[in-house]
Every structure is written in C-alpha cells, then in structure tokens.
A = this chain, B = another copy of it.
C-alpha cells in the first residue's frame, strides 16, 4: 500500500528522452503526464481495475506550478492527495519531486465524473466515492494501514 499516513499516494515515473523539449528540460505539459500515471496507479491499486474503460471522469480544471526544471535521465516521484469529494467532482493536490526530494512541480486538479455514452457529467460512482472518501480521511485514520 503506497498511501502514507499523511494521506499521500506516491508513484515513481521514469522521465523519457522524448519528454525533453528543445530547451533541454521536460516540456511543461509533462508534469500532467507524470501525474496521470500516478492517478492510474492509484485506481489500479485501490479499485483493482486496470482497464482504460474504468476511467469515467474528465478533467475540469488544473492549476500547475513549476518549481524546478525536470531533466533526463531521471525518475520523478508523484504524490497525490485527495482534498475534496463532491457529488460529481473530486479535487486532488499533486506534487512532482526528484529522486532526491526536490520539489519540481505542484498543483491541483479537479476531476468530474463523466458518462461517455450520454456525453454528460454524472454523480461519482458510489464505489469510487467510497475509495475517495477513505483516502480523504487517510491522514486522520487507519486508511494507510487498512488498505
């Protein structure tokens, strides 16, 4: 179980050469790609679901801050913590750190549950909500050890 007592889920992601742009650092969209890998790892681990079909939300809003340039070759560690669980949407904070712990990027994303067939937002699935709410209270409770 990778959720720590303070409620952060962490996953390591290797930086690829293709991530690096003409300025010699990872293109500024890459923290979001690293975050996506951590988010997928979270759902795989918590929900036990691995397939792309299981992803039934879309991005509503992203805030992304850049603290240091990301270089190749390296691994980054993405931390992910849930901050709010609403009826249709949930909010997560994230940070991307170097192997030595330096803060590289940080931010917040808001996801909204989405019915891809009807092409409209929907209420968060109860099973997903239960996972998110357990995660939300992980910092205060036994989530980490019970997971």
> CB within 8 Å of B: which residues of A?
13-14, 16-18, 20-24, 27-29, 32-33, 36-37, 40, 44, 50, 52, 55, 58-66, 69, 72-73, 116, 119
Instruction: Give Cα A24 to B29, complex, Å.
Output: 18
Can you offer 11 A-B residue contacts whose CB atoms are under 8 A?
A16-B37, A21-B21, A21-B22, A22-B22, A23-B52, A23-B58, A28-B62, A29-B29, A40-B72, A52-B72, A63-B63
A89 to chain B, nearest CB (A): 12
Known interface pairs A32-B28, A73-B44; A20-B61 also in contact (CB < 8 Å): no
Say yes or no: A40 contacts B73, CB within 8 Å: yes
Complexed CA–CA distance, A65 and B5 (Å)? 31
Contacting pair A33 B16 (CB below 8 A): yes
Q: Which residues of B contact A33 (CB under 8 A)?
A: 16, 18, 29
4 smallest beta-carbon distances between A and B, as pairs = A29-B29, A20-B22, A28-B59, A62-B64
